[in-house]
Structure 1
C-alpha cells in the first residue's frame, strides 16, 4: 500500500506542475528495472517551456546584438578591404598596356580580392580585348603566379588556359625556354615562376599558343 500511495502521489505531482492528466503508474517492479527505489516517484522532466518563456526577451536581445555585430563586420570588410581592392584593380587594369602591348596581361602590384572587380570593371569600361592573365606575387614563397582569368566569376573554365599543363620545374623551363619555372596546374588555370620577369614571359608565351 505504501508503494502505490507514493506512485499515485508522483502522478498527482506531475499533473499539478505540468497541467496534464496523471499518467498511469507502472506495475510494481517497473521502477526497480529502471534503477530507482520501489517507493520513489518517477523523476520530473525539466520545465523547458517555462524556463524558455522567462528568457525570451534575453534571447531576442542576444540575437539583435549578434545581427548588429555581423552587419558592422560586413561594413568594416567593405570599407577596409573590398572598396580599396576595387581601386587597386582599376589602377592595374588601366596600366596593363605598360605591361604588355597586347593589353591582355594585368599585374597586381598589391594582392587583393580581384576577380569580381575585374569582371565588373571590364564591363563598365568596355575593355577590349579582355584580360587573359593576371600576375601577382605569392607572399609566402615570394615567387610569382600567372593566373588565367575565368570566363565568368563563378566558372572554373579559363578564357585562355595556360599550356604546359601538369609540367614542373626543370622540365617546364626546358619546354618553355623560360628559366625559373615552378609549375603549371593540371587544368592550366594557374602557373608559377620564381621571378616576375619569368612569370611575365610565361604569360606572353601562353598568349601566342
Structure 2
C-alpha cells in the first residue's frame, strides 16, 4: 500500500503561483502516491512542520526537505537576479517530471528539457514576476501601447486565477470551504493550461522534420505542400525556407487551405498576401474573379483562402505569385 503525501500551502485567498504549484505537483508525483495524498491549506505551524511538501508558506526554502517558500529574507533568485515565486521553485524541482508525465513517452529527454525550458521562460518566469509585484511587460512610454499592455496583463494567467478568489463580502460562515473549492478550481484551470501548452509545444517540435521533408518534395520551394494541417510557420522560419504559401487540408477535410507566410514569427503581416481583387470574396464570385473553378473563399485581410481540392488550392497559391507586383 502506497503511503500518501501530506501537501501543504497557505489558506485564505490565493494567487497564481500556489495554484500553479499544486498543478505541477499533481502532474509530477507518481499517480499512486498522489491518489493517497492530502492537501491542507493552512498556516498552522504544526501542520506545516509535519507536511511532506510545503510551498508558498512556512518561511523556508530547502529542496532536500521539500520546502518551497519565497517570502523569507534571503529567498532564492533566478540566475539573472529576478525573484522566484513558489511556482518557479516547484517548477525547478518537479517541472521536468511534470513535463515527462504529460508527454507520456512521446519524446525523449531532449524534448523534455526543451519544453521545460520553454515553459520556464515564457510562462513560469512571468508568474514569478507577477507574484512579486513586478510587471512582466515594461512601460513603453507610449500611451496606446501601455494601455494595450495593461489589457494583455489583465487577461494573463495570474489575473485569471486572481478572478477566481471569493469577493470580500462572501458569506464568512462558509468562506474557508469556499476558498478551498475555488483554489481547487483554479489549480484545475491552470493545470489544463499547462497540459495544453506542453501538448502544443510537443506537436510543434514534432512538425519540424515533417515540414522540412514536405518542403523538399514540393514542386515549388515557395509553395509548401502538406498532407495534413500542422504548425508550419515556425519550422519554415527556423529553417529559413523561402516559403510564401502553404497548402494543406483543413481539419474537417472538406477543403484545402492556402495560408500565407508571415515575414517574421508572430507577425500578422504576410510576405505576400493573396491578391487584393480576391479580398472577401466567396464561392461563385471568387471563382469568376480568380479563374480557379473550385475556389471557396479568400479572407478579407488576405492571409488565408481555400478551395475544394488540393489542385485548386495550389492553383490559388501559384496565381497569387504570378499576380504579385
TM-score normalized with structure 1 length: 0.63
CA contact (8 A) 1:161 1:188 kept: yes
Give 1:89 deviation, angstroms. Answer: 0.8
Secondary structure, in 3 states, of the residue corresponding to 2:53?
helix
Deviation at 1:106, TM superposition (A): 1.2
- Taking structure 1 as reference, are residues 68 and 174 closer, same or farther at Cα in structure 2, changes over 3 Å only? same
Distance 1:133 1:186 in 2: 17
Q: Does 1:157 align with 2:266?
A: no
Quote the residue 1:181 is aligned against. 295
In 1, Cα distance between the equivalents of 2:253 and 2:227?
16
Map 1:66-105; keep pairs closer than 5 Å: 67-72=95-100, 73=102, 76=106, 78=111, 81-96=203-218, 98=219, 100=220, 103-105=221-223
**What secondary structure is seen at the aligned counterpart in 1 of 2:281?**
coil
Q: Paired residue for 1:54, among 27, 38, 49?
A: 49
> How far has the Cα of 1:169 moved from its partner?
1.1
* 1:121 aligns to 2:229 (yes or no): no
Q: Deviations over 1:41-93 (max 9, x none)?
A: xxxxxx73435523653235594785244331368464863444111111112
Q: What's the Cα RMSD here?
A: 2.9
- Aligned pair 1:170/2:165, yes or no? no
On the 8 A contact 1:88/1:110 being kept in 2, the answer is no
Q: Distance in 2 between matches of 1:180 and 1:115?
A: 26
Change (3 A) 1:157 1:51: farther
The change in CA–CA distance for 1:49 and 1:199 in structure 2 (over 3 A counts) is: same
Q: Distance in 2 between matches of 1:166 and 1:187?
A: 8
Deviations 1:111-169 (A, max 9, x none): 322111111112xxxx5xx2111000012143100001000111010000012111111
Structure 1 runs, 4 residues or longer, greater than 4 Å off = 60-66, 77-80
SS at match of 1:59: strand
Change (3 A) 1:175 1:85: same
Q: Is the 8 A contact 1:178 1:201 kept in 2?
A: yes
Q: For residues 51 and 68 of structure 1, what CA distance do their matches in structure 2 show?
A: 31
Kindly indicate whether the alpha-carbon contact (under 8 Å) linking 1:137 and 1:145 is maintained by their aligned counterparts in 2. yes
The equivalent residue for 1:107 is 225
- Partner Cα distance (2:224, 2:246) in 1: 5
Secondary structure (helix, strand or coil) at the match of 2:54 reads: helix
Q: Distance in 2 between matches of 1:199 and 1:55?
A: 65
Distance in structure 1 (CA, Å) of the matches to 2:244 and 2:236: 11
Unaligned runs of 5+ in 1: 1-46
